Structure 1
Amino acid sequence: MSKVHEFNVTMTCDGCSGAVERVLGKLKGKGVDEVTISLENQRVKVKSSLSAEEILNVIKKTGKEVTFVSST
């Protein structure tokens, strides 16, 4: 069952959000259903059957500072 996991990610430009989009995009069809990135709010929402911890570790691969906010 998919949940929506929300993260705070330090992103300063389109390149930053693009990096997050790329790493999560590789998981589309492999547990990630949808990715919503708000550069303005520095938030990333991921609809996924993967755990929040798994997604957190994937986002960390970009080198961005990331913290888990919530799951619904």
Structure 2
Amino acid sequence: MQAQTETISPPIGLAASASMFGAFSVLLWLTIMAVIPWLRDAFGISPIIGWYVSGTALVLVPMLIYGC
């Protein structure tokens, strides 16, 4: 019986880490500054509901997909 070995990926560099966090920070900023007010004005949605809808669809889902 052979033991299974797990491969460990090397850590990402500073530039890759900054670009990854930067991209998701821009998505978060756009959601807060543009999408939530647009949802409020166009559809009369409460800002907290707009946050749950747009934050999930435009920030959290892309983060989960990238993480997978």
The TM-score bracket by the shorter chain reads 0.3 to 0.5
Q: Taking structure 1 as the reference length, what is the TM-score of the superposition? A: 0.36
User: Is the helix fraction higher in 1 or 2?
Assistant: 2
TM-score, normalised with respect to structure 2: 0.37
Higher strand share: 1
